[in-house]
Each structure stands twice: as C-alpha cells, then as structure tokens.
Amino acid sequence: DWTMAAYREEMVTRIREQVGDAKVICALSGGVDSSVAAALIHEAVGDQLTCVFVDHGLLRLNEAEEVVGMFRDHMNLQVIHAQEQERFLSALDGVSDPEIKRKTIGRLFIDVFQHYADQIEGARFLAQGTLYPDVIESVSFSGGPSVTIKSHHNVGGLPEKMGLKLVEPLRELFKDEVRALGRELGLPPSFIGRHPFPGPGLAIRCPGEITREKLEILRKADAVYIDQIRRHGLYDDIWQAFVAILPVRTVGVMGDGRTYDFACALRAVTSVDGMTADYYPFSHDFLGETATRIINEVQGINRVTYDITSKPPGTIEWE
C-alpha cells in the first residue's frame, strides 16, 4: 500500500525530529497499538528505544515468551522482560472485588514500570499507542456526564509523574490504519489480527478470588478454546473470544468416578468497537466438540457453559 509506505516515511522523519538523540521508553503490552508504535519508533531511532514488557502473571498461555521473543529476536528491539508475577499475585491475594482488582493491578503496573524506566539512564520520552479515537474521546467526554462503569487500566498520568514527554505516532490513525501500518512494518499478520486483550488480563476472567490453580486451569482451557476457533476458521469473524473460570465447583462423572471440579464459561462476541456487542452464533456441533475437548484436555474443569449475553446489558468481560 503506497500511501501507508509514504506515511511510514513521514512518521519516521517526524519521530526523529521530535526525539533527537534522547532515549525513549515504551510499555509494550503485546497489543496491536503499543506493538505498532514500538516498531515504528524503533525504525526511526533504533536502540534509543527500550521497551518494558511487564509480566503480571495474568497473561495467557505462552504469551510473554511469544511477545518478548518476537520483538527481541525477530524485530531486534531492546526489550526488558519484567518478571513481576509474584508481586502482582500476592497483592491480589484474597481480593475478589472487580474494581479493587483493577485498581490494584493498575497501581502496581505504574510502580513496576516506573521502577524499570528509572534504570534507563537519560530517558526523556514515553511512547504510547494512542489512536485518533482515543484523542477525540478524551475531548468529547470532558465536561460531559461522567459515568464510570469500569476503571480502565493503562498508563494514564504516568508521563507527568515521571517528567517524560509523550511520543504518540499513531494519534492520527484509526484501528484499521494501524493494522495496515503494522503490516507495512513487517509485523506478522497473525499478530496484527489478534483479538483485544484487557490490561488487567486474566484477573477479570476469574470472578471471585484469583488463585494460581485457577489461573493455570483458565490458561489451558482458553488455549483449547482458541485452538478450536482457529481450526474451524472462525477467529477473524470474531471480535473477541475467551474463557472465564467460574468461582464454583460442580459434580460430574468421568469414567467410573465422580468429579468435583470448576465450571467455566466460553465467551465470543462480534463487535465494531467494543462499545456494543452480540454473542457469536456458534453451531451446536462446534460448542459440543469444544466442551468435550476442554473437559478431556483440561484437568480441573468438568462443566462448560456458553455465555449468550449481548452488550448491553452484559459487558464483554465478566468483570
């Protein structure tokens, strides 16, 4: 796409002008926006950019290795893999209220990121994958009624606190343009097309108390579910799909024995922007096959349900 190629060139020039020979840090989440921003800035200023990938212990199966591996080995970026699982999980110990979960994770995320950023000498800029819709939203919402349904977790407020200037090379783009730019920069198409994943991660897909045991079961079940969706060629038709592990054990039978394991809920929705959503109309065959696979392959789950709530009145995530 020649226009994207030209845009890429122009942005590289603009980033170089803005940053000069200063250092830039970036919180890499593995999401499309921060990934494309990092790839673009890396092209402009190379090793002046350092990314920090915070592993809060609430990521999906193999996610940290995949993201860090791709950026470090495939794209040659400097990435610090912050292994802070213990810190986050112990802070969440015994917490079951959704808002307290989000605030705990958000607050710790900022502390942890700041800790790593402080070690990068001479950092003057913070890169963010802010998109055009984020820019307009923050303007049109100001002064309007403030109704907070869920507190979203990101690095808001961080730049001021750390005395950093922002580099936001995606501020003029919509999501589909960011994807095109990402392809132009050589990010793998499978990566560009990934479903959104919330900052608080699996914490909000584990209603009630978060335990390591539940997280491990959830990771396995989610991996089987997504594998099923990919095998059936449905991944790109769906806006977002995931498993939530329910805070309830139920009785089942397996072989000659009685089981007493967790129930889980599958979620899959179509949406344009995440503001409204419809549940995805899987065939009964698909649902049956997926339930059987999860119960056979994931120890700790003996019952599978499908969430058929649309948004509104439901939200996409369970918390």
Residue 316 binds to ligand XMP (criterion: CB under 6 A): yes
Omega before residue 189 within 30° of 0, cis: no
Structure tokens at 287: 């649902």
Question: Is the Cβ–Cβ distance between 113 and 52 less than 8 Å?
Answer: yes
Residue 198 binds to ligand XMP (criterion: CB under 6 A): yes
**Member of 87, 150, 175, 232 binding ligand XMP (CB under 6 A):** 150
Query: Which positions from 56 through 115 interact with ligand XMP, judged by CB under 6 A?
Result: 102
**Member of 98, 129, 169, 199 binding ligand XMP (CB under 6 A):** 199
Which helix (H) or strand (E) segment holds residue 306: the answer is: strand 301-306
Tell me whether residue 269 or residue 298 sits nearer to ligand XMP (CB atom). 269
Question: Which amino acid, 189?
Answer: P
Residue 267: strand, helix, or coil: strand
Strand partners, 166: 126
| Min CB(84)–ligand XMP separation in Å | 18
> Is 140 among the annotated ligand-binding positions?
no
Which of 184-222 are b and which e, b meaning 16 or more Cβ less than 10 Å from the residue's Cβ? bbebeeebbeebebbbbbbbbbbbeebbeebbebbbbbb
**Member of 152, 165, 212, 258 binding ligand XMP (CB under 6 A):** 152
Structure tokens at 108: 């710790």
Tell me whether residue 252 or residue 314 sits nearer to ligand XMP (CB atom). 314
Tell me whether residue 149 or residue 253 sits nearer to ligand XMP (CB atom). 149
**Member of 153, 179, 214, 220 binding ligand XMP (CB under 6 A):** 153
Alpha-carbon span 117 to 311, nearest angstrom: 38
> Is 34 among the annotated ligand-binding positions?
yes
Residue 315 binds to ligand XMP (criterion: CB under 6 A): yes
Site string for ligand XMP, 4-43 (x = CB under 6 A): ----------------------------------------
Alpha-carbon span 242 to 266, nearest angstrom: 6
Owner of token pair 């994958």: 129
| Min CB(245)–ligand XMP separation in Å | 16
Interface stretch with ligand XMP, choices 51-59, 180-188, 196-204, 250-258 (CB under 6 A): 196-204
Structure tokens at 78: 């400097």
Tell me whether residue 147 or residue 253 sits nearer to ligand XMP (CB atom). 147
| Min CB(34)–ligand XMP separation in Å | 10
> Is 167 among the annotated ligand-binding positions?
no
- Give the dihedral sign, CA 188/191/192/193: positive
Residue 196 binds to ligand XMP (criterion: CB under 6 A): yes
Give the CA distances from residue 277 to residues 37, 247, 266, 269, 311, in Å, rounded to whole numbers and listed in that order.
27, 25, 15, 6, 5
> Is 138 among the annotated ligand-binding positions?
no
Structure tokens at 26: 């970036």
Binding residue positions for ATP: 29-35
Give residues in contact with ligand XMP (CB under 6 A). Answer: 102, 150, 152-153, 196, 198-200, 240, 274, 311, 315-317
